[in-house]
A and B are shown apart, each in its own frame.
Chain A
Amino acid sequence: MSAVLQSLVNQPYKHGFVTEIESDIAPKGLNEDIIRLISTKKNEPEWLLSFRLKAYQKWLTMTEPEWQNVHYPKIDFQAISYYSAPKPKKKLASMDEVDPELLRTFEKLGVPMHERAALAGVAVDVIFDSVSVATTYKEKLAEVGIIFCSISEAVQTHPELIQKYLGSVVPVGDNYFAALNSAVFTDGSFCFIPKGVKCPMDLSTYFRINTEGSGQFERTLIIAEEGASVSYLEGCTAPRFDTNQLHAAVVELIALDNADIKYSTVQNWYAGDENGVGGIFNFVTKRGLAKGINSRISWTQVETGSAITWKYPSCILRGDNSVGEFYSVAVTNNYQQADTGTKMIHLGKNTRSTIVSKGISSGHSNSSYRGLVRIAPTAENARNYSQCDSMLIGDQCGAHTFPYIQVHNNSAKVEHEASTSKIGEDQLFYFSQRGIDAEEAVSMIINGFCKDVFQQLPMEFAVEATKLLSFKLEGSVG
């Protein structure tokens, strides 16, 4: 059985190619001049530049966090190029004018950039290295008043919205990597769903890191006004390099009264090779503010890539009766390290939150669940349910749980449970008795283990995630 699982886990990374494309790269290093350069290149208003500079000043006073359960060499922030963009030939009028090399890249990745290719009607914003290269279905969305574009475009066309909401959920000095991102973010997606609009299709952003030695710092901002609802997907890949690349993103979600935001991620950055060389350092700050009454924010993530994952999608449940959800599957193999989880901050009355976290570790990897459930004194009748299960494949890996539960109100009800298990011989025996070979049995057991989370994903993503998982774990059971 071990050989089958081994080969199951050790599938090569399929998205490791580099696209030969002419890029406009800023010199390496970080200083005020670079920040001014980014701001000028993007033709930004004065207030945004001062936002960046304020973040940079804050960042200088901060130190890199050390509390997380991951180990990596010190990052040299001066050896990173903070801006890299495919050189535009000219201003693009339609999709057909996008650099064919780029289009081929995304076709290879299976991202539907051509509107006709978008089977399920998913609107896609594509981010290549630091900038957005294309956004589909813009006009159709605009008909119902939805703004979906890159954040740099939104800065030009809707500066008032950006100014109002940018940094309102994740302040510039929130943490080390968020401060860095606030200083140097280059692009990202912006999405605004006006009052009472249910977004007619899933929105999606596809991130691709291409240039070696560059960092990717994108910023996503989603606002759902009163009664609006949206489902948003995010996917990411990167080529195979022997050096580590830094990815420090910030995602902010804002849900007003009765609004509903569902954010799904399938993260498949390059994870490094079987010896732990190379791979992306993924340090991401994601936070949703359930600001209005009855609002709802739901995070779903499938984390399979990155050499290091450091990410805690959180919900601040400020509105009364607001709901926060977190569904996560984190798979680590070889020398990957994942420290991920969530924070549920209950402030409003009758707020509810659900946490379902599944960790699968194999090889020499370590995966940690780190979660905080905080019930503030104002949160009457708050309710939380958390479940975090880990599965270990092999005896070289580790699984860790660090749940922090802080209750300051006696009407709250908080439950947490966790378990650790392995794929048992008797389970595999049962399958083989039914004529199912070990490889398929393992894949079925793992899918069953992750079912609670996959159910939360939009259909196409669920299929992708299932496939991704079986590739990822190919050959690892033994």
Chain B
Amino acid sequence: MSETTHTNYLECLLKSWSTKPTESLSWLSQLRARAIDRVSTQRLPTKRDEEWRFTDISSLADLPYQPSQPDSNLQVQDIAHLCVKEVKNRLVFVDGHYSSQLSTIIDSAALVIGNLPAFLSTHASILESHLGQYAKFDNNVFTALNTAFLRDGALILIPKHTAIAEPVHLLFIATQNEVTSYPRCLLIGETGSNVTLIEDYVALQQGTYITNSVTEINLAANAHAKHIRIQRESTQAFHLANCAVSLAHASNYQSVSISLGSQISRYNLDVRLTDEAAECTIDGLTLIADRQLADTHTCIDHLKPNGTSRQQHKCIVDDAAHAVFNGKIMVRPHAQHTNSSQSSRNLLLSKTAQVNTKPQLEIFADDVKCAHGATVGQLDQEEIFYLESRGLSEVAARNLLTYAFGAEIISRIPVTSLRQQLEQTVLNQTQSN
């Protein structure tokens, strides 16, 4: 793929942007203008870039690049099977565009929830101080693109000392092929708040399209958030996602991300522990087959003392699929008493499956406890033998162990019906004959 094609790709994107009407709100248009500026100075990453060494996205440049247009003939019954029954507040975005008829908002008194444009005038100063502040686009062309095309987006603001019992569901549905959608999400947890957020990417049919999503999460002191992210796009789609999380004093962020779909998917998760005693738990499961490629890059940045982070990432790779994991843990100078652990475990189910994993530690403080581990391999022969000795056939034993490998991550999802649904998915995908 030549350099010129890449430039053309981005140029075409920009051209399609300039035809859009400009917004009246100056800070927002400035933010967009800055992002456009950045896009024009960048190019699509290639395998020569260290961050993209194993993920070749050159085929992206061959795809149609038009931003998706709102086209919502979807009815509530079309998406009934995607709803999670514990959920009271649900925001639905069809190809990145907000659909008010599919969304249900019940607690509008307890929290601020809805589509971004609706709050531009009422919550201007809050939005200005958060939107685009965590997901930096200086060196990330996809975040820059998303910001440049920023229109609709989910906004969730949990007021001080408010706990929302029912999870909030963000449903991003792809219905059109050969388009790019730019989902955007901002979660602000004020002091002492507590929320569970489900971010769910689904497709209603097979097809090639691009999802370029950006999620920003800011938790103030003592705020808690559970973030469940499910990527079950069409297996021909491209999913490029960035999530930036900023944690204040003694806040707690727990994330479970499940990656099942897409031809090529890339998920960047950046968590910054900006004040003391912040905690985060990050779990991930990648379950892919055929010729899928799933790439997860995480960076946990300990900036202040007494932070805690735990991370477990698992990949189950079948057929000729390829899983990539890069987990970086930074411990900045003076972030003493940081306690951090990371584990990357990978299961290869076929001869042609591939895994590239790189757990990376960068430590600049001496009084810390940091450990990481990585394993790649097959199922343990002894475990299989044990199950066989209990009367299971070898195939049944393998299926059971493979399922259990993935189910460990699924079991951390705090929403019962969603957990059961995903357990079923993992079960179906791990049954071989």
Contacts and interface: CB of A to CB of B under 8 A. Distances in A.
B366 interface: yes
Given A405-B376, A413-B376, A400 B361 contact: yes
A413 B376 CA distance: 6
Interface in B356-376: 356-376
B346 interface: yes
Interface stretch (B64-72, B174-182, B208-216, B347-355): B347-355
A404 B54 CA distance: 11
B369 A418 contact: no
Q: Is the interface of B mostly helix, strand, loop or mixed?
A: strand
A397 interface: yes
Given A405-B358, A409-B351, A417 B372 contact: yes
B166 to A, nearest CB: 40
Interface size class of A (residues with CB under 8 A): 35 or more
B356 A395 contact: no
Contacts of A409: 348, 351
A61 interface: no
Contacts of B378: 410-411, 413
A50 interface: no
13 contacts: A377-B351, A392-B366, A395-B334, A397-B366, A398-B364, A400-B360, A400-B361, A403-B359, A405-B355, A405-B358, A406-B354, A409-B348, A420-B369
Interface residues of B, number: 36
Given A407-B355, A409-B351, A410-B351, A420 B361 contact: yes
Interface of A: 67, 375, 377, 390, 392-422
Nearest to B348: A410
B369 A390 contact: no
Contact of A407 (B354, B364, B371): B354
Contact of A414 (B353, B359, B368, B374): B374
A418 B373 contact: yes
Contact of A67 (B50, B334, B357): B50
B414 interface: no
A395 B366 contact: yes
B333 interface: yes
Nearest to B359: A403
B21 interface: no
Given A416-B373, A418-B373, A410 B350 contact: yes
Nearest to A421: B369
A401 B361 contact: yes
Nearest to A419: B371
A404 B356 CA distance: 7
A407 B366 contact: no
B49 to A, nearest CB: 11
Nearest to B331: A420
Contacts of A408: 354
Nearest to A409: B351
A412 B333 contact: no
A410 B370 CA distance: 29
B366 A414 contact: no
A417 B376 contact: no
